[in-house]
Structures are given as C-alpha cells and as structure tokens.
Structure 1
Amino acid sequence: MLKAAVIGCGSIAKYRHLPEYAANPEVTLTAVCDINQERAEELGSMFDAMAYTDYQDMLEREDIDIVSVCTPNYLHAPVSIAALNAGVHVLCEKPMATSTQEADDMIEAAKNAQKWLMIAHNQRFVPSHQRARDMIARGELGKIYSFRTAFGHGGPEGWSADGADSWFFKKDEAFIGAMGDLGVHKTDLLRYILGEDFTSVGAFIETSAKDHSTVDDTAVCVLRTGTGIIGTLAASWSYTAAEDNATVIYAEKGIMKLEDDPQYNVVIDYADGEKARFELGGIQTNESGGQTNSGVIDSFVSSVQADEEPAIPGEEGKKSLEVILGALEANESKTIVDLDLG
C-alpha cells in the first residue's frame, strides 16, 4: 500500500487528485498541505489525512511514498525537487515548470534520487485521443497533412478556489496564462497523437478578455513538425459560451475529428465517402458533471508499484513546455521560432 500526499489544496487537488487517490485501492492518503490553513484542514478532514501548512515540515514528519504537486506554477519546480530529494516519487501538475532550466533541474533531481517524476498531462488518457494515436501509428489515415486544435472556456474564475483573485491571473505566480493552463495540454496531446515533436512555432498572444489578469487569456499558434505536418492551436479563457476541447486531423485518407461531436468522440469522414463514428466516453471538462476519473493518478500509482518509467516522464513534460516557451518568444520577437527538442 502506497502512502500518498498532496501539496496544494486548490480545485485540481480537491476534484481530481484527492478523489482519485482515495478511489485507488493501492493508496492510503496520508497528508495534505496548503499555505491556507483552513483549506488544508477542510480537505484533510474530508479525506482523513493530516493537514500541514509547510510542505517541508510535512516531508520531514510524514512517511510518504508519492506526492502530487498541485501548487501555483512558480512553485512546481522547488516543491517537486524538495519532495524528490526527500525520497518521494512526484506527480507534478502542468505546466511542469516556468523555464527549461527548472525542468532540467526537476529531471536531474529525479535521476539523482532514483525516484519517478511524472507530469499530469491527462489528455493522453482520453479514449478518443488514444484511439487516434493508434490509428495514425498504424497508418490507417495515410499521410498526415495538417491539424487544428483548440482548448477554450470562460476562464479559471469558475474553477479556481480563489475565483477572480486566483493565482492563475498573476504573472509572478502563474508565469503564463491560457497558454500554460490550456495550450500546454494541446502541445502535449498533439505530440502524443502524431508521434512527432514540433520543430518550429509562431504565435499571437493577447490579454484582451480579463481586466484583472496580468497574463495572456487568448492565444493562437501555428506549429510545424519535423516531417512537415503543420497546424494551428488556440488556447483561450475568452470563450463565453460552451467549452471547446476539439482536435481535427487532416490526412491523406480522410478527416478525423476528436471531441468535436456531442455524441461521437471520434468521427472520421474518409476520402472515399465512407464514415466511421465511435462512442468511447467523454473527455474531462470544467463544466458541471465533467469530473470523471482522469486516469493520471492510477497510471502514476501503477508505474511506482511496478518500478517502471511513468507514462509521461519529466522529459516529455519538458518537451511540451518548450513549445509553449517558444510560442512566448515568437510572440515577443514577431518571428517564427525554431525549437531544439533533441
């Protein structure tokens, strides 16, 4: 039985990490930590775990095997490194860090401690995305030409524990806005589905919808892989109606739409006129009723138990982060930025 703890008691911990640990029969929840004592004690009581306000104190006092890092972005690296140095396996929320150097430091700490580091990119576990990856890898769509993907909703106000005063909107704590919150999900997803890394990125990034924000709330990127697959990525907190989490793949043998249809998770319109429709179970959403098991915690627990590399190790998280960092650079320089993800 693995003993688990969660550092950071905001909404991602409350609605995803803690319930999924509690539902896993191989895990005992030991402790929770948050600088907000009331919040830590509330979740500690809810999940029968010790509550702390100092993560260093928690790491010293508790016998922990695994920990989820669910803090604001600027704390991902220092908290993860402290936990790894304490001999604890780490599952870190995305984006894994605020710089390439921080990501490298996290990866190095995991290697030195001989502990596993996984980044919580949950879109890899969505059934429609897994089906798409398998079909593309088997060549069932032929040559892939291009794509478009989007992740947008009304913003963290309705999701974050602190509402409009959330750290999500503060540059010194979040570092990056919609691109880090939503865009990094899609850079990771596309790398996963296509089986390729991106080699260049261009971007337009704006803060146009949130008067209380010092980070971006709307962004559009153009991306290119090494084999010449090109496409667009939109990430936004300015979608004032329904959430959008769809991806479309344009290929030699047809067009594949993922999470674009209200009933069918995968829709394929083949070039010969044939059609395929698959109902595979919905994608997670921030909207009411959208909090199903993400698969992230179960995958992490299994990898630790088997002492096998996790599904999304630090190196993968770093590559997805670097696309976002490249987009920031492209927006600032008004140029296409070449990415070195070797």
Structure 2
Amino acid sequence: MTVDIAFIGAGGIGSIHLNNIEDVDAANVVAICDVSEDAATTAADRFDATAYTDHEEMLEAESLDALFVAVPPFAHTNQETLAVEHDIDLFVEKPIAVSASTAETVDDAIAAAGVHSQVGHMYRYASVVERAKEILDGRDVALLDGRWLGGVPPSGWWGVKEKSGGQLVEQTAHIFDLVRYFGGEVDDVCAASGKNVVGDEIDFYDTASATMTHENGAVSHVSTSSASPEELIDLHVVGDGVKLHLEFRFEGEDPPRALGRLTGTVDGERIELEDDEDAWKREVEAFVEAVETDDASLLRSPYRDARGTFELTLSVDDALESAVPEAVKQ
C-alpha cells in the first residue's frame, strides 16, 4: 500500500520531516501547504506534489491517508479537526497547542473519529530510550532529573509566550515527556523561575526549575534555560539497581539528526550505548508504517498521551505563576 500524505507547514520541523520522508518507500507526498507560497511551491516541487496556501482548500481537494501538521503552537486552528472529519490519520508536531481547550477539542475529535495519531516526541523512538525503557521495565524508579539548556531560537514567535507557550512548553516538553514515559503520571508540581540574563528577545523567564511527585512515589526534577551559550539536553534516572544517564544532541544539517547516548550502571554492570539512527527519522517511519498496516501499536506517542505531557507543562507554568504546589490535571 502506498500512503498518500500531505503536509501543513514546510519550514522548520516540517522541512526535517519532509527530508526524512523521502527515504520512506511507502510514503507518497501528494500535497504541501504553507502560508508562504514560495515555501509551499519549493517543497512541493521536490515531490511533484500540489502546493497550497490554504489548508481548508487542500483538505477538501485531496484524497489523503495521512497528514503532517507542523505549524507553530499558536497556529493550530482547525487543521486537525478538519482532517479527522475526512478520516485522515494525523501526525502533529509538538507543542500541540498553546491552550488546554484547543488540545482537548482535537483529542476529542480524534477519539470520536477513530483515526491513528502521533505527536512528535521523537525521543521515544531513540534507541537509547528504547534500551532505557527495557532496563526500567518492572523496576521501581526513585528519581528523574532532567535538563534542557540552550539559547534563544531565531524565529520571532518563539520569544513571545502567547505564541510559543514559553521554553517549558515549546522545547523542554521533550524532557517532561521522558519524565512521564519513565516515571509515570505526575500528581503535583512546584516550580520557580527567573530572568537575569536574556533581554528583550523573550517576554518570559530565561530560567525555570520544577520539582514533581509522581503517582507511584517517584520524584522528578526538570531545569530549563535559554540563557546558556552551550546546549545541554539530558536526563538522569535512578531506580532499583540502576543509575542511567541519557544525553541528547543534534548533529548535521539538511536534515539535522536527533541522536543520543546512554551510560550508567545496571545491577552492578556498566553499560554504554550510542544511537546509530536519527530519532526524527524513526518516528516518521513508524507513523507511515502504522498508517500503511493499520497497526496502532507502532505509535509510541498518540495524541491522547501527548496531551498528558502538554497538560503537565501547562501545570508547571501555572506553578511558576502561583509559587505554590499545583495539582496536575489528568
């Protein structure tokens, strides 16, 4: 089966997915939509696809099996709900929205339609995360401690909180997602933030830190900063007989690759594993295969689960404002 696919969003992360999907045999990109006509046309020409600047027109005109929605957080309007009305399977890049109500509306529509869905938490497809998940299966986790440190991305909307959600929602969601993936659901969170380094490039905190208690008794901590001159993305996990350290990095261009490294101790034995394949590529391959074979088990980050990560980041953001522990919406 050939999977007929359209894209909404041809730049940024959309361009990374387009580059990776070229190597997926079952994928047939038939249409690309972008608010920039030049971007849509340039991307469409690569695939001999049809270019659009209006996603409603595209969804009405094309017969699609799957749709990639790769737009900035504030730009999610009716793309997903219109797609599921046409029985189209969805790949939605994170963050899935900037408001809880938008995510709830889309989640309900996906559930009602029964379509497949995947959200771009690519680290769930990293081989080092797969191995860590295998190691932790059946073990009690005591502590998770993660960091996302870096600078301010060049896109103008990223520095505007009502458009991006802030760094917690837009970037560090990847670490919060792994905290849930390994540590289970979160009960409560308390958090603090400050802005001492970055100036007018952003209208929110440049540094934040959150401590969480999980339903199963684990404790987790995540720090984030856009004031760092060097990038650092990692997660420590401590549990019964294990101490793991996951490190993540981006390498190369056109497209860049999302890679990782796992080190630690398991039952007294040292372990070390390097990723040999791009997590972005693996998540795209898995989604196309899930659509092609109608196998939802291949989808490690369905929309409903990803909504849990999104709600967690919003709860952390609320805790930053209130400075008191916040119950996490389930």
TM-score (norm 2): 0.88
Q: What letter is aligned with 2:149?
A: G
User: What secondary structure does 2:19 align onto?
Assistant: helix
The corresponding residue for 2:239 is: 251
The corresponding residue for 1:38 is: 38
Distance 1:227 1:304 in 2: 34
The corresponding residue for 2:264 is: 268
Cα RMSD for the two superposed structures: 2.3
Q: Deviations over 1:109-155 (max 9, x none)?
A: 1133332222111011111111111111143xxx3221211122223
Q: What letter is aligned with 1:308?
A: D
Q: Which structure has more strand as a fraction of its residues? A: 2
Q: 1:333 and 1:318, CA in 2 relative to 1: closer, same or farther beyond 3 A? A: same
- Checking the alignment, whether the CA contact within 8 Å between 2:245 and 2:263 is kept in structure 1 is yes
User: What secondary structure does 1:9 align onto?
Assistant: coil
Alpha-carbon distance, 1:178 to partner: 0.9
The corresponding residue for 1:171 is: 161
Distance 1:121 1:130 in 2: 13
Distance 1:298 1:316 in 2: 19
> 140, 145, 148: which one pairs with 1:148?
145
**Paired residues, what number?**
317
Q: Deviations over 1:20-63 (max 9, x none)?
A: 22211011011111111111122222333221111111111122
Q: 1:110 and 1:293, CA in 2 relative to 1: closer, same or farther beyond 3 A? A: closer
Distance 1:99 1:8 in 2: 20
Q: Deviations over 1:253-290 (max 9, x none)?
A: 242111279x992222368xx44132231686xxxxxx
Aligned-residue sequence identity (percent) comes to: 22
Find out whether 1:191 has 2:180 as its counterpart. Answer: yes
The corresponding residue for 2:84 is: 84
Trace 1:202-213 onto structure 2 (pairs within 5 A).
Answer: 202-207=190-195, 208-213=197-202
Find out whether 1:95 has 2:95 as its counterpart. Answer: yes
Alpha-carbon distance, 1:308 to partner: 3.0
Runs (4 or more) in structure 1 with deviation over 4 Å come to: none
Distance 1:283 1:103 in 2: 31
Q: 1:25 and 1:138, CA in 2 relative to 1: closer, same or farther beyond 3 A? A: same
The corresponding residue for 2:203 is: 214
Q: What letter is aligned with 2:54?
A: D
Alpha-carbon distance, 1:103 to partner: 1.7
Find out whether 1:280 has 2:289 as its counterpart. Answer: no
- Checking the alignment, whether the CA contact within 8 Å between 1:130 and 1:193 is kept in structure 2 is no
The corresponding residue for 2:319 is: 330
Alpha-carbon distance, 1:180 to partner: 1.2
Q: What letter is aligned with 1:246?
A: D
Distance 1:247 1:203 in 2: 18
- Checking the alignment, whether the CA contact within 8 Å between 1:184 and 1:320 is kept in structure 2 is yes
TM-score (norm 1): 0.85
Alpha-carbon distance, 1:297 to partner: 1.1
Q: Deviations over 1:146-181 (max 9, x none)?
A: 121112222322xxxxx4xx322223422x121112
Q: What letter is aligned with 1:144?
A: V
